[in-house]
């Protein structure tokens, strides 16, 4: 059996450690990840292996040579990355293949794995490991030892299994023959799903030793801390390292050869690399200091922060949580660093639950974001709307990556969605106070595209030439205005007014809505650009009730509706009465009904409905079920994926968890960040809402009824 080790990745999420070092050469307790792997191979009787290299290939070959740790090595250097399967095929010798990841740290018994593969007669065997937080892994579903499906890096709502794909495979030669030569092909995304669909036998070997994927700073720190614990050590101070008096080095801390820590310092669960010098009274917690850093007294480094190689840091400097500082950066005395410092190579980009791009600071970052979206999306055209100052920077970034832009300068949120759909754009960006990126169909951002964008943002240098043009979307905006006018009756029975932060919404409202007669209604648009409530002389009508009235308007026209998952449950009951239908979410090619995306369309539909009935809005609202709608947020506990799986077992409803008790229904969804859990509650009373909310709080503590 041939052994092939994948060792060509750039390790962008582990920067600045990987700025000048290939990821497999990053040290764990004084020994590189690849050396640890080679020792495991030797212990399992494997004497030779092929390394597939790409990023800093010369450094890999120089560090390892032709023989390392008792294993003879050959190299297959990729000039152009071919994916996990493509590069293994290029190195293949015609035999069955044991495929390994060069940057994992594990205790796998490769002899037992290959024997398992032969005994079960599998076409492919995948080694899996149970994990506490499945979101960052490709997951496997299985019936016993037979694999039944794959889930690629889900959000919390998709964590239906905790079996993580470790990237260790045994692949039969029959499967290897099918992989095309010289084409970019991935095992997890291309080869394995196709084999499964064809009924081939894919088996899972669940390992129970240890496995760490050192993909980023937090996972590196966790690996280091737990390995020390397994060895019965609290910390490790190597060779010629020096530690000043009264300093505390503990809880998983590692101080490498030649490093120096001043007196009175506290280093907890951190890595201080060789040659680094840190002055007195430092406080370093779950952080990384790379080689040859020089720091003055009073350095404070918070969780998961990192200083790149050769940085020169003044006294009394504070580096905030998660902040990464590029190599050879100089920071003056007293500096407080709250965001990454880089030359455009590092990313603090994340996405909020609604597709908001977080961590962009200034027009340069926004330009880089546009470049990254273009690289990740690969679309010919994208719609870009909004009045924000980031509009031009995003546009320039998109066009620099070769994506054409339909420019909707100053458009409202709903107008941007409408125009994107009319223009055939699968996605849109809205630049207002922030930057919002989502599908024009369901206003969501897929987990896969989110990750591609973050990865592209971290590695793509800003382009210098605009390769695509910008098209004026004014004609489609005119179509949007005409569309709204077509919805509004000539003599509406209410006199609508609007309160909105959007100048464009106010302009369009004035243009399309006649003054009308009868009941005066003020519609208050929320700052999110999507929801709206109504105020009459005697009542406040919630957004949820306005949505129900819009559904009635659609049903009377013999039209079905497509609603977001958390739209009021009363909509289904109404659909039954009208012999119509409700679709939750954008199933297939279905698009969310526009009144869910645009306050102006919602106002138009409500106006049309009450006019057709000849009643006031207040009277129409009085006909609706008396339901209280509540939204709450809880801080997320540790081990949230396991709690969501066990504490809410059997109560999933689509992508949400749904509980029903005592006249209340609650939808529970973890935030993308994993730091919070949001609740949407429909109840007959405040007491019922409080009761079910308390039940959920107990479940989140791990207490299940």
Which residues are within 8 A (CB) of 609 and not within 5 positions of it... i.e. 6 or more apart?
Answer: 549, 550, 552, 553, 556, 620
Judge if 81 and 187 occupy the same domain.
Answer: yes
Average pLDDT on 328-335 reads: 83
Of 145-154, 184-193, 459-468, 487-496, the one with minimum mean pLDDT is: 459-468
Cis amide linkage into residue 16, ω under 30° from 0: yes
pLDDT in the model for residue 649: 57
Q: How many whole angstroms separate alpha carbon 571 and alpha carbon 225?
A: 52
Judge if 237 and 328 occupy the same domain.
Answer: yes
Domain range for 650 is 628-700
Please count the structural domains in the chain. 5
Judge if 454 and 592 occupy the same domain.
Answer: no
- Nearest Cα residue to 418 out of 319, 295, 508, 329: 508
647: pLDDT confidence band, cut at 50, 70 and 90?
Answer: low
Residue 102 resides in a domain = yes
pLDDT in the model for residue 561: 85
* pTM metric for this prediction: 0.59
Residue 452 resides in a domain = yes
State what percent of residues in the chain have pLDDT above 70: 88
Judge if 181 and 262 occupy the same domain.
Answer: no
pLDDT at 429 over 90: yes
pLDDT in the model for residue 703: 53
Average pLDDT on 206-213 reads: 82
Q: How many whole angstroms separate alpha carbon 623 and alpha carbon 694?
A: 31
For the chain, how long is the longest CA-to-CA vector?
89
pLDDT in the model for residue 344: 40
Residue with the bigger pLDDT between 446 and 418: it is 418
Query: H or E stretch including 193?
Result: helix 192-197
Tens of pLDDT, residues 50-84: 888 888 878 888 888 888 888 888 888 887 778 88
Average pLDDT on 514-533 reads: 81
Judge if 455 and 420 occupy the same domain.
Answer: yes
pLDDT in the model for residue 346: 45
pLDDT in the model for residue 27: 85
pLDDT in the model for residue 136: 62
Residue with the bigger pLDDT between 620 and 665: it is 620
Judge if 128 and 237 occupy the same domain.
Answer: no
Q: How many whole angstroms separate alpha carbon 68 and alpha carbon 48?
A: 10
pLDDT in the model for residue 469: 59
Q: State which of 249-253, 376-380, 472-476 shows the largest mean pLDDT.
A: 249-253
325: pLDDT confidence band, cut at 50, 70 and 90?
Answer: confident
Of 140-144, 249-253, 423-427, 576-580, the one with minimum mean pLDDT is: 140-144
- Token digits for 9? 């990745």
pLDDT at 30 over 70: yes
Q: How many whole angstroms separate alpha carbon 60 and alpha carbon 290?
A: 19
Tens of pLDDT, residues 336-373: 887 777 654 444 677 877 778 887 777 878 888 888 89
Confirm if 657 and 648 have CB atoms less than 8 A apart.
yes
- Nearest Cα residue to 272 out of 446, 40, 29: 29
Domain limit, last residue, from 622, 652, 671: 622
Residue 464 resides in a domain = yes
Q: How many CB atoms lie within 10 A of CB 81?
A: 15
Q: How many whole angstroms separate alpha carbon 369 and alpha carbon 355?
A: 13
pLDDT at 428 over 90: yes
Domain limit, last residue, from 162, 184, 213: 213
467: pLDDT confidence band, cut at 50, 70 and 90?
Answer: very low
Mean of the per-residue pLDDT values for the chain? 81
Judge if 163 and 237 occupy the same domain.
Answer: no
Domain limit, last residue, from 443, 473, 503: 473
- Token digits for 295? 């720091």
Residue 345 resides in a domain = no
Provide the CATH number for the domain around residue 383: 3.40.120.10
Q: How many whole angstroms separate alpha carbon 575 and alpha carbon 285?
A: 56
Residue 313 resides in a domain = yes
Residue 442 resides in a domain = yes
pLDDT in the model for residue 691: 80
pLDDT at 674 over 70: no
Q: How many whole angstroms separate alpha carbon 252 and alpha carbon 268?
A: 6
State what percent of residues in the chain have pLDDT above 90: 6
Provide the CATH number for the domain around residue 247: 2.160.10.10
Judge if 221 and 178 occupy the same domain.
Answer: no
Q: What is the 3 state secondary structure string of 465-530?
A: CCCCCEEECHHHHHHHHHHHHHHCCCCCCEEEEEECCCHHHHHHHHHHCCCCCCEEEEEEECCCCC
516: pLDDT confidence band, cut at 50, 70 and 90?
Answer: low
Question: DSSP code of 462?
Answer: P
Confirm if 586 and 534 have CB atoms less than 8 A apart.
no
Confirm if 355 and 436 have CB atoms less than 8 A apart.
yes
Judge if 156 and 30 occupy the same domain.
Answer: yes
Of 298-302, 434-438, 455-459, 516-520, the one with minimum mean pLDDT is: 455-459
pLDDT at 652 over 60: no
Tens of pLDDT, residues 247-295: 888 888 889 888 999 999 998 989 998 888 988 999 999 899 998 899 8
Q: What angle do CA 382, 384, 387 make, to 5 degrees?
A: 180
Tens of pLDDT, residues 90-116: 888 888 888 888 888 888 888 888 888
Which residues are within 8 A (CB) of 315 and not within 5 positions of it... i.e. 6 or more apart?
Answer: 279, 296, 297, 298, 299, 333, 334
Judge if 554 and 591 occupy the same domain.
Answer: yes
pLDDT at 672 over 70: no
Judge if 131 and 27 occupy the same domain.
Answer: yes
Confirm if 530 and 415 have CB atoms less than 8 A apart.
no
Tell me the CA distances in angstroms from 312 to 58, 281, 289, one per residue in order.
28, 17, 11
Rounded to 5 degrees, φ, ψ at 300 are: -120, 120
pLDDT in the model for residue 135: 60
Tell me the CA distances in angstroms from 567 to 488, 561, 610, one per residue in order.
24, 11, 21
pLDDT in the model for residue 588: 45
Q: How many whole angstroms separate alpha carbon 41 and alpha carbon 58?
A: 23
Judge if 84 and 164 occupy the same domain.
Answer: yes
Tens of pLDDT, residues 580-610: 888 876 444 578 889 888 999 999 999 989 8
pLDDT in the model for residue 471: 66
Provide the CATH number for the domain around residue 679: 3.30.310.50
- Nearest Cα residue to 447 out of 139, 184, 136: 136
Q: How many whole angstroms separate alpha carbon 593 and alpha carbon 552?
A: 13
pLDDT in the model for residue 466: 44
């Amino acid at each position: 059996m041939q052994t092939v080790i994948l060792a060509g990745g750039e390790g962008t999420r582990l920067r600045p450690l990987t700025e000048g070092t290939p990821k497999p050469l990053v040290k764990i307790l004084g020994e590189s990840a690849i050396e640890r792997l080679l020792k495991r191979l030797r212990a399992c009787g494997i004497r030779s292996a092929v390394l597939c290299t790409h990023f800093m290939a010369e450094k890999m070959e120089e560090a390892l040579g032709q023989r390392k740790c008792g294993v003879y090595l050959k190299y297959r250097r990729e000039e152009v990355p071919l994916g996990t399967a493509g590069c293994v095929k290029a190195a293949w010798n015609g035999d069955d293949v044991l495929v390994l990841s060069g940057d994992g740290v594990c205790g796998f018994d490769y002899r037992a794995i290959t024997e398992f593969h032969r005994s079960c007669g599998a076409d492919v065997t995948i080694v899996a490991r149970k994990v506490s937080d499945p979101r960052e892994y490709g997951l496997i579903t299985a019936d016993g030892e037979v694999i039944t499906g794959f889930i690629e890096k889900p959000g919390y709502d998709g964590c239906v299994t905790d079996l993580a794909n470790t990237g260790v495979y045994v692949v039969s030669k029959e499967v290897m023959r099918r992989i095309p030569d010289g084409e970019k092909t991935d095992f997890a995304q291309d080869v394995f799903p196709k084999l499964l669909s064809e009924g081939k036998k894919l088996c899972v070997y669940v390992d129970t030793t240890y496995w760490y994927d050192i993909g980023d700073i937090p996972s590196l720190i966790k690996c280091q801390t737990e390995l020390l614990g397994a060895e019965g050590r609290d910390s490790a101070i190597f060779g010629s390292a020096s530690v000043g008096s009264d300093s505390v080095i503990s809880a998983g801390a590692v101080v490498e050869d030649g490093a120096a820590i001043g007196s009175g310092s506290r280093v907890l669960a951190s890595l201080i690399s060789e040659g680094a010098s840190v002055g007195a009274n430092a406080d370093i917690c779950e952080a990384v200091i790379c080689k040859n850093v020089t720091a003055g007294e009073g350095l404070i480094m918070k969780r998961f922060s990192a200083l790149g190689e050769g940085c020169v840091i003044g006294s009394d400097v504070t580096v905030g949580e998660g902040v990464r500082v590029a190599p050879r950066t100089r920071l003056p005395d007293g500096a407080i660093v709250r965001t990454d410092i880089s030359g455009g190579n590092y990313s603090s980009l994340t996405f909020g639950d609604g597709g908001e791009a977080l961590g962009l600071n200034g027009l340069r970052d926004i330009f880089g974001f546009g470049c990254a979206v273009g690289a990740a999306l690969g679309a010919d055209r994208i719609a870009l709307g909004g009045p924000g100052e980031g509009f031009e920077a995003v546009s320039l970034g998109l066009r620099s990556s070769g994506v054409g832009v339909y420019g909707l300068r100053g458009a409202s949120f709903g107008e941007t969605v409408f125009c994107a759909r009319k223009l055939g754009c699968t996605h849109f960006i809205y630049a207002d106070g922030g930057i919002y990126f989502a599908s024009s169909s369901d206003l969501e951002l897929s987990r896969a595209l989110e990750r591609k964008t973050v990865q592209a943002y971290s590695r793509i240098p800003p382009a210098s030439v605009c390769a695509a043009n910008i098209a004026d979307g004014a004609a489609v905006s005119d179509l949007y205005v005409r569309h709204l006018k077509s919805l509004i009756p000539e003599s509406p029975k209410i006199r609508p007014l609007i309160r909105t932060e959007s100048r464009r919404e106010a302009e369009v409202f004035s243009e399309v809505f006649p003054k009308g007669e009868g009941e005066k209604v003020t519609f208050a648009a929320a700052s999110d650009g999507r929801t709206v409530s109504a105020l009459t002389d005697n009542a406040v009508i919630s957004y949820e009730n306005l949505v129900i009235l819009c559904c009635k308007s659609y049903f009377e026209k013999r039209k079905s509706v497509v609603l977001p998952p958390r739209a009021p449950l009363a909509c289904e009951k109404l659909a039954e009465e009208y012999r119509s239908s409700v679709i939750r979410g954008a199933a297939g090619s279905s698009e969310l009904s526009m009144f869910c995306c645009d306050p102006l369309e919602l106002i138009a539909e409500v106006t049309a409905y009450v006019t057709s009935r000849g009643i006031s809005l207040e009277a129409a609202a009085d006909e609706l079920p008396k339901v209280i709608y509540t939204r709450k947020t809880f801080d997320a506990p540790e081990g949230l994926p396991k709690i969501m799986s066990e504490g809410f077992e059997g109560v999933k409803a689509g992508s949400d968890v749904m509980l029903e008790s005592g006249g209340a229904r609650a939808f529970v969804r973890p935030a993308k960040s994993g730091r919070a859990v949001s609740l949407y509650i429909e109840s007959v009373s405040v007491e019922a809402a409080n009761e079910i909310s308390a039940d959920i709080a107990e479940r989140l503590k791990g207490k299940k009824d």
